[in-house]
Amino acid sequence: DAGVTQSPTHLIKTRGQQVTLRCSPKSGHDTVSWYQQALGQGPQFIFQYYEEEERQRGNFPDRFSGHQFPNYSSELNVNALLLGDSALYLCASSLLGQSYTFGSGTRLTVV
Amino acid sequence: SQQGEEDPQALSIQEGENATMNCSYKTSINNLQWYRQNSGRGLVHLILIRSNEREKHSGRLRVTLDTSKKSSSLLITASRAADTASYFCATDAKEGKLTFGTGTRLAVRP
């Protein structure tokens, strides 16, 4: 049974560019959440998707947007990248209200 | 913003010793969860304790929760080198949004 799959594992982008990160949830899970983890910090909640809608959002600017597809997979898009967007981006899936399974993350470096 | 603070920030112990990490948080919660993270990769869920529970065990892990003090502790007994990792507490106050603490870096010396 595959867990949460994230792609790519690493990526380097230039300031001002746009990036799309992808997440496939664990089989049977219908809810996907995204987190940003800066080096040496705990993860910070970006947003959560359920039934293809953004259900909750953390304190992140509109440059951060997402999408959930009918097969429950999800994308995180970040526009106009800043150096401060360099972080590990984690995807977590669950059944709504149940415990979470995290992916291994995408390490984004903005230069 | 971070909800909780883990204490200590770093802990180094000898294999076989017990490790205790503490977590404090600020708001009312539905549940509190502990996660382990190896080398800045994905988080592994360790244990979940609900707001109406006071203590929970899972293998070598023991978690306590004191909602009156807004604090929790994670005890790892008989530690092993493989327990070396960062440990985070996370509170779930509003269904679906986990708020993480700053983490405790645990090093277990062989």
Nearest by CB to residue B43, choosing from A39, A41, A90, is A90
- Decide if A39 contacts B39 (C-beta within 8 A): no
Whether B2 shows a pLDDT value over 60: the answer reads: no
Q: Which candidate, A102, A78, A84, A73, places its Cα nearest to that of A3?
A: A102
- The CATH number that applies at residue A81 is 2.60.40.10
> Which of B56, B97, B99, B102 to mutate to test binding with chain A, by most A CBs within 10 Å of its CB?
B97
Q: What is the pLDDT of residue B57?
A: 97
> Touching check for B102 and chain A: CB below 8 Å?
yes
Q: What is the pLDDT of residue B96?
A: 74
Q: What is the pLDDT of residue A104?
A: 95
Rounded Cα distance between A34 and B64, Å, is: 28
Q: What is the pLDDT of residue A2?
A: 65
Q: Which residues of B touch A101 (CB under 8 A)?
A: 45
Q: Which candidate, B70, B71, B73, B104, places its Cα nearest to that of B88?
A: B104
> Touching check for B94 and chain A: CB below 8 Å?
yes
Q: For the segment B9-23, what is each residue's pLDDT rounded down to a tens digit? A: 999 999 999 999 999
Contact B100 A55 (CB under 8 A): no
Give the residue from chain B lying closest to A93, CA to CA: B96
Rounded Cα distance between B92 and A107, Å, is: 25
pLDDT band at B4 (very low <50, low <70, confident <90, very high): low
pLDDT band at B7 (very low <50, low <70, confident <90, very high): confident
Q: How many domains does chain A have?
A: 1
> Which of A37, A59, A60, A109 to mutate to test binding with chain B, by most B CBs within 10 Å of its CB?
A37
pLDDT band at B39 (very low <50, low <70, confident <90, very high): confident
Q: State the residue range of the domain holding A55.
A: 5-110
- Positions of chain A with pLDDT under 70: 1-2
The mean pLDDT of chain B is 92
Just give the CATH number of B5-109: 2.60.40.10
Q: What is the pLDDT of residue B1?
A: 43
* Dihedral sign, Cα of residue B46, residue A66, residue A42, residue B54: negative
- Structure tokens that stand for A64 in this block: 């951060």
Residue ranges per structural domain of chain B? 5-109
Convert A56-84 to b/e letters by CB count within 10 Å (16 or more is b).
eebebeeebbbebeeebbbbbebeebeee
Q: Which residues of B touch A97 (CB under 8 A)?
A: 95-96
